[in-house]
Amino acid sequence: MSRKLLPAFVFALVVAALAYVPFIAGSYGITLGIGMLGYVTLATAWALFSGPTRYVSLATVAFFGIGAYTVAVFSESMVYPLLLAVAGVIGLAVALVVGLATLRLAGVYFVIFTFGLAELIRQLVTWYEVNVTGTLGRYIFLPVTPEGIYWQLLGLATTAFLISWWIGRSRIGLALKVIGDDEVVASHCGINIARVKLALFTVSSVLITLVGAIQAPRWTYVEPTIAFNPTVSFLTLIMALLGGANRLTGPLLGAVPLFMLFEWLSANFPNHYSIILGLVFIAIVFVLPRGVLAFAEENWRRWRKSGVKNLPAVAE
Amino acid sequence: MLVAALLSGLVLGGTYALVAMGLTLQYGIARIMNLAYGEMIISAAFLAYVMFSTLGLNPVAGLLIAVPTGFALGYVVYGAMMTPLVARARDRASLEIDSILATFGLLFVFQGVMLVTFGANFTSYSYLNDPVTIFGTTLAANRVLALILAVVFGGGLYLLLTRTLWGTALRAVAVNPGAAPLVGIDVNRAARLAFALGSGLAAAGGVVISMYQTFTATSGVVFTMKALIVVIMGGVGNLIGALSAGLILGLVETFVATYIDPGLTLAATYTIFLAVLLWRPAGLFGRLTR
């Protein structure tokens, strides 16, 4: 019983410790924490769908931007909690449309579609702003403190983590694993493939939308090119892959070190940022295709196995 | 107005068809989904710009440099990056995912290099910008040249693939990579050549585009997207399909831009893409392989 309770206890302790951080850290610490929690949530939400199904989604920033832009558009006409709810609903609707249209097709069509989705939405928003409302770029003035944003993101990250944990041990999680291994087998087992994928995709997309919505007040000024910056999709993908998209803690382990690295890179090499980013990514794809956790585990096992094998040899 | 839209639609469509033919070679024969394809196009456009503005070399002569460079680049990229991925791939699906991820990284490397070198400004140069009258409408001479070049390259490639033994071998790999070794075709070598040939076509497309359009270091993604849509609409690995789908896309975009709104062209592109996918998932000219 205590073995079961221990991880839950540690988890609660970590969350509580993180919640206390704003009281001791300065404003730079809080900014760093907001960025990190944002990416932890993004990577976890991304891996929720793309990890087990192996459908690589390149549309993270499409949903992130939808969240941010919704907050910017309605910030003067709604109260704050309603704002987040509206952003979530819009993200849900877009996810349903995209998922219904592409998830029944082969995986590569989904990838291609998501690859251009952010660009499409950015152009549509720009077109709408220029032609209908006549303004491009909006200011966000909301009575939200950085500490408030930090705690909200912490709550969202915890939620994403718990959803991921729950799905991993539920029937839908098992169904997802079968789909990822072999779709034909999955359909013969009586799994409704399209419905399972759609459900996961929408959950993941709503979480991503909420990250954008919560972080939006940090910017004060939002424009389609800022909200739909493709680097966000790219970073999320690298982080989840580095940690290992199939593990519960994988995205978390990838997001924290890489966020620090990118923070350092963008401060020291602002011009060569995207080149280094691309090279790091290629290196990860080649060296750690299944993530650092799986890599460590395999080597640990091999090391132990060879240790066992060597033992009799020494005794002889 | 109608004739003018039709003509500029054909010019645009010819360019899309040219660019998409390169991608269909890479994806159909080499089985590499190259997300950095648009960056290869834009690199060639910048190369043409530099040659024109510093050396005074006209873009048609520039093609003689750009296309071999593109070919060599593709050959090197395939050898250095794709060969290990092909070797470790268990099946086609896992190679697709791996190549998408690797070329996604490559996209940022290329884009970063171009941003550092040329900045984020819109770039263009003025070459053959003289009016020509065709069917009662005036068109810039560089656009007419772009269409002619697209026809020459497309026709040349078509003849190369259908009339030579070498081209037949490439098509055999596209149709059935498992059976091609049985008739003595080296699949890896064919894939590498197809990938390099595709990069060469991307370079040709980039030079042609630079003659009549403005471009930035970050506009590669849109070209990749459009080329991918054309390839899928036409059926993967199908040259005639890519040609027709490219023309359709160019015409639709121009008509949407002329009669509805220039800001909605990408939305129109996506609508066609979705409609084709839902109606005929194997493409307009493709056959279901499974």
Single out the residue of B163, B145, B262 nearest to residue B212, CA to CA. B145
Does the beta-carbon distance from A272 to B112 stay under 8 Å? yes
B114 vs A305: which has the higher pLDDT: B114
The answer to whether the Cβ–Cβ distance between A285 and B84 falls below 8 Å is no
How much is the mean pLDDT over chain B?
Answer: 86
pLDDT of residue A306: 64
Tokens found for residue B106: 């490559």
In-domain check, residue A253: no
Residue A237 lies in a domain: no
**Is A262 among the domain residues?**
no
Task: Determine, yes or no, domain membership for A196.
Answer: yes
- Give the span between the Cα atoms of A32 and A259, in whole angstroms: 9
Closest by alpha carbon to A211, among A30, A35, A33? A35
Residue numbers in chain A where pLDDT is lower than 50? 308-316
In-domain check, residue A2: no
pLDDT at B129 over 80: no
The tens digit of pLDDT for each residue in A289-313 reads 777 777 777 778 777 766 544 443 3
How far apart, in Å, are the Cα atoms of A102 and each of A114, A132, B85? 9, 30, 26
Residues pairing with B123 in the sheet = B215
What part of B 106-135 touches A (C-beta under 8 Å)? 106-113, 115-116
Comparing A20-29, B77-86, B244-253, which segment has the lowest mean pLDDT?
A20-29
Give Cβ neighbours of residue B134 (< 8 Å, ≥ 6 apart): B7, B144
Q: Do B263 and A237 touch (CB under 8 A)?
A: no
User: Is position A287 within any domain?
Assistant: no
Mean pLDDT of the region B193-222: 90
Please enumerate in sequence order all residues whose Cβ is within 8 A of that of A265, keeping only pairs 6 or more positions apart, or say none: A273, A276, A277
Integer CA distances (angstroms), A2 to A7, A8, A13, in order: 9, 10, 16
CB A33, CB A23: distance < 8 Å: no
Domains, chain B, with CATH or none = 2-279 (1.10.3470)
Indicate if ipTM > 0.95: no
Kindly state the average pLDDT of the residues B59-78.
Answer: 91
Q: Is residue A35 part of a domain?
A: yes
What total of structural domains would you count in chain A? 1
Q: What is the DSSP string of A10-53?
A: HHHHHHHHHHHHHHHS-HHHHHHHHHHHHHHHHHHHHHHHHHHH
Binary contact (A271, B270; C-beta < 8 A): no
Counting one residue from chain A and one from chain B, the pairs whose CB atoms sit within 8 A come to 114
What are A4-57's pLDDT values in tens digits? 788 888 888 888 888 888 888 888 888 888 999 999 999 999 998 888 888 888
Query: Quick one: DSSP state of residue B264?
Result: G
Q: Which helix (H) or strand (E) holds A221?
A: strand A221-222
Domain containing A194: what range?
21-229
Domain-located, residue A312? no
